[in-house]
Amino acid sequence: MTRYTITVEPLGREIECDEDQTILEACLRNGVWLPHSCTHGTCATCKSEWLDGEVDHGQASSFALMDFEREEKLLTCCAKPRSDVTIEADLDVDEDLEVFPVDDYTGTVTVLEDIATDTRRLVVELDREMGFNAGQYMKLLVPACADGPEVDRTYSMANPPTQTRTLEFHIRKVEGGRGSDGWVFKDLAVGQQIRLSGPYGRFVLKTGDDRHGIMVGGGTGLAPMKSMVRHALENGEYEGELTLYAGGRSRAWLYDVDVFRALEEEHEGFTFRPCLSDETPEEVAASGDDPDRYGYGLVTDVIAADHDKLSGCAGYLCGPPLMVESALKVLMSKRLFPRDIYREDFFNEADKVDGGLKSPLIKR
C-alpha cells in the first residue's frame, strides 16, 4: 500500500498516512490533535487550508465543503492523500487537556438492554485499558451484511474516564439505520466481540473550571453528559455548580433518571432537571409520580423559565441539531457568550443529504 507524508502547519510536524486513510485519522493516531467533531464530512469543524499536494475529497458534504472551496480547502475527516500533502490547521488545543492518541480495540459485549423508548444501553469490556476525556466518543465498526459493506458509526461514552476498560454507550434506534436498526437492535448480542477505535472528539468537560455549568442533553445526547457529570462529581474534577437538563417527549423517553437523582442527593451543587415536552403534570400525577420533580415543555422553555440571566456560566449542549441550535439561542439570550458554550450535534446519516444544521455563531 502506498504511503504519503502529511505536513501539518504551523507545527511543521510530518506524519505518515496510507492512501486509504483519512488525514484526520492518520494525525490522531500519531498524537497530532486536529479539530474535529462528526468525522463524517458533515459539520465542517475539521475544515483546513490545503497548501500543497493532491487529495481525494471523499464523501465530504457539499454543505460542509462547498464546490468553490475545494481548490484551497479540505475536510481532514474525509480527505485522503494522493501525494505528499501540506495542510494548515486551526490548532486551538486546550493546553490543560490531555490528548490521547486514537487506537484500535476489541471489545466484548457485556450488557445490552432497553432503557427507554427506542433506546438501548450497550456496555463493552475492552481488551486493554484506554485513556479518554469525559465527553469523547468512539467509532464502532458495523459488520458487513446483506445491506452493505462494513461501516463505522460514532457513539459517545457515558462512563467516566476512570473506567478505562468498561465503556458504556446509549444508542437510539434510527429507522433503517445500519448501526442501530440493522445491528444493535437486530443482531448484536451479549458475549459477541466488536471492533472499535478512539477516542475522538473535542466536546469535553473543562476540568478545574469554577463556573456554573449549564448542561443540556437531548435524547442520547445525555450520554456524554453522564460521563462529564460522574467525572465531575465522583472524581472531584469540577469546581463549580452543575445543572443538567435532560429533554424527552415523556417519561418513557427518559432514562437513568434515578441515577441522576441519586447523584443530586449525594452531591451538593448538582441539580438535575428532567423535562417533558408531551406529558402534562396531571398525567404524571395520575400515574403516582411526583409532578414537581419534572419541568414541562421543551427543554429550552424550562431553561428560559429557570434563569433570568446566565452571564458568567458555561454551557454544554449535546443532542439533535435542532435542539442544540435552539438551546444555543436561549443561552445566548440569557447573556451567555458564544465562547463559553460548548456543543456536540448528534448527526446521523440523513444529515449527509441535507447538511444538518449549522450556526454562524460558533465555529465547530
- Rounded Cα–Cα distance for residues 252 and 248 (Å): 8
- Would you state the cell numbers that stand for residue 261, as one nine-digit string? 437523582
The Cβ of residue 323 has, within 10 Å, a number of other Cβ atoms equal to: 23
Residue 14 pairs in a beta bridge with 7
The pLDDT score that the predictor gives to residue 147 is: 78
- Residues 136, 169 contacting (CB under 8 angstroms): no
H/E element, 323: helix 321-333
Per-residue model confidence (pLDDT) at position 92: 67
Q: State the pLDDT at residue 35.
A: 86
Q: Mean pLDDT, consecutive 10-residue segments, the chain of 364 residues? A: 93 93 94 86 91 94 90 94 94 74 97 98 98 96 88 96 97 94 96 97 90 95 97 91 96 97 96 97 96 96 95 94 93 94 73 43 31
pTM (predicted TM-score): 0.88
What is the pLDDT at residue 93?
Answer: 63
Please name each of the domains of the chain with its CATH number. 3-88 (3.10.20.30), 103-200 (2.40.30.10), 213-354 (3.40.50.80)
What is each CA distance from 116 to 27, 172, 190, 209, 271, in whole angstroms?
37, 9, 19, 32, 22
Burial level of 173, CB count in 10 A (0-12/13-18/19+)?
A: middle
Distant-in-sequence contacts of 285-292, Cβ < 8 A, 24+ apart: 289/251
**Does residue 115 contact residue 172 with C-beta atoms inside 8 Å?**
no
CB 98 within 8 A of CB 66: no
Largest interatomic CA distance in the chain: 67
Q: Taking the C-alpha atoms of 267, 293, 134 and 164 in order, what is their torsion angle to the nearest 10 degrees?
A: 80
- The answer to whether 15 and 30 are in contact (CB under 8 A) is yes
